[in-house]
Amino acid sequence: MLFETMPVITGAETDAALRFCAEQVVRNLPEFTYQFQKAYSEHSFYQPIENTDWTTGFWTGEIWLSYEYMTAAGDPSAALLKKAGEIQVESFLDRIVRKIEVDHHDMGFLYTPSCVAAYKLTGNQKGREAAIKAADQLITRYHPVGEFIQAWGAMDAPENYRLIIDCLLNLPLLYWASDETGDLRYRDIAEKHIHTAIRNVIREDYSTWHTFFFDRKTGAPDHGATCQGYRDGSAWARGQAWGIYGCALAYRYTKQPEYIDLFCHVSEYFLRHLPADMIPYWDLTFTDGDDQPRDSSSASIAACGMLEMIRFMEPDDAAVWRTYAMQLVKSLLDHYAVTDPAVSNGLVLHSTYSNHSPYNTCNHYGVDECNSWGDYFYMEALTRLQKDWNPYW
């Protein structure tokens, strides 16, 4: 086993960390009930935004995770959290009805931790309606030629005839929609996308491509390219982490045995490229001694993927991956988590959204800050460690 001497988080630490997160979320409610947290903090503080970005579902997801925690703890703030979650669900319903900034593939990131969660936890019917409409929107982005869901841009734009690895997290919405409606179209599209994505984004050495292009006429795989990684051919840390969680979800939904093997290989690549404290730099090319920012959100996403996968593993293998997840979360707690509300209104510092390099195609923002998914997946990992969690995904 790698990182043999790294400590694991204890049960008491998990509970205390989760309590701090839930209390931080409650403290944020006055500012962020009718508005949402921006994707990333500035000088460690989130500003409020309207419900227009691909990231707003994570904040609502934090509200629902806090609601779960406070309900179990018998804390009266549970009622406040439920009310705030319901207000946000109404905003998501309005957004999908009016089609505000929904011409992209991130319907799962938006509608799973917000609306599917609301429906699963409280039977919220507006959440159900909104999430089914979001699934309808997502399948409009499916290309039968190539069998994938296009991530970004106009559907006829040649420069965007591609999928991205992150999309594996958007697909549970489609499986859920099939289960809810009995309409198998959603699930069929999800399954086709999963197979296409996994066949193409995972390289021979089990590092991953961020994005992958297909031939528009034949659908044949064309080439991989990065957008947010350091360069083509390197492994963007968060892409690798989406791959870890994505393989676990792919197994859960398809039960293809080879996806467990792929999960192990993709996760091992991630672990082998971590610095001493296990929290990756923004691209796995970098390590201790490199003057580069971290992406703490990748550690949380990877931990969640591991905790998802172990639900389907033999006990000995499950124990190994649970230990890695507990080490990742312990390091986040000890060195990256916010401990003082005066320092930040977020949950986890030192994350990187989009770091421009001479070799990539992304803009530069949210570097070495909190970000909304980093906070959400940290809470999800803690919740998964604390109890037998019924996943929103």
Residues designated as active site: 106, 166
Least Cβ distance, residue 201 to ligand GLY (angstroms): 13
Closest-approach residue to ligand GLY (CB): 166
193 or 238: CB nearest ligand GLY: 238
Quick one: 219 exposed, middle or buried, by C-beta within 10 A (0-12, 13-18, 19+)? middle
- Cα-flanking dihedrals φ and ψ of residue 213, to 5°? -95, 155
CA dist 223 and 212 (Å) reads 6
Least Cβ distance, residue 273 to ligand GLY (angstroms): 18
Least Cβ distance, residue 141 to ligand GLY (angstroms): 15
Least Cβ distance, residue 238 to ligand GLY (angstroms): 5
Residues 71-100, one symbol each (x = binds ligand GLY by CB under 6 A, - = not), give: ------------------------------
Least Cβ distance, residue 365 to ligand GLY (angstroms): 11
207 or 228: CB nearest ligand GLY: 228
95 or 104: CB nearest ligand GLY: 104
Helix (H, G, I), strand (E, B) or coil at 367: strand
**Interface residues for ligand GLY in 350-379 (CB under 6 A)?**
353
**Interface residues for ligand GLY in 324-353 (CB under 6 A)?**
353
Verify binding: residue 238, ligand GLY, rule CB under 6 A.
Answer: yes
Rg over alpha carbons for the chain, rounded to the nearest Å, is 19
Q: Strands, E, within 269-382: which ranges?
A: 351-354, 365-369
Verify binding: residue 166, ligand GLY, rule CB under 6 A.
Answer: yes
**Interface residues for ligand GLY in 189-228 (CB under 6 A)?**
228
Residues 6 or more apart whose CB falls under 8 angstroms from that of 84 comprise 29, 33, 63
Residues 104-143, one symbol each (x = binds ligand GLY by CB under 6 A, - = not), give: ----------------------------------------
CA dist 195 and 210 (Å) reads 16
CA dist 337 and 349 (Å) reads 6
Residues 19-58, one symbol each (x = binds ligand GLY by CB under 6 A, - = not), give: ----------------------------------------
Residues 6 or more apart whose CB falls under 8 angstroms from that of 37 comprise 28, 46, 47, 48, 49, 56, 58, 59, 346, 372
Number of residues that bind ligand GLY (CB under 6 A): 4
228 or 267: CB nearest ligand GLY: 228
CA dist 318 and 314 (Å) reads 6
84 or 163: CB nearest ligand GLY: 163
For the chain, the farthest-separated pair of C-alpha atoms sits apart, in whole angstroms, at 58
Q: Which residues of 292-312 are buried (b: 16+ CB within 10 A; e: fewer)?
A: bbbbbbbbbbbbbbbbbbbee
Binding footprint of ligand GLY on the chain (CB under 6 A):
166, 228, 238, 353
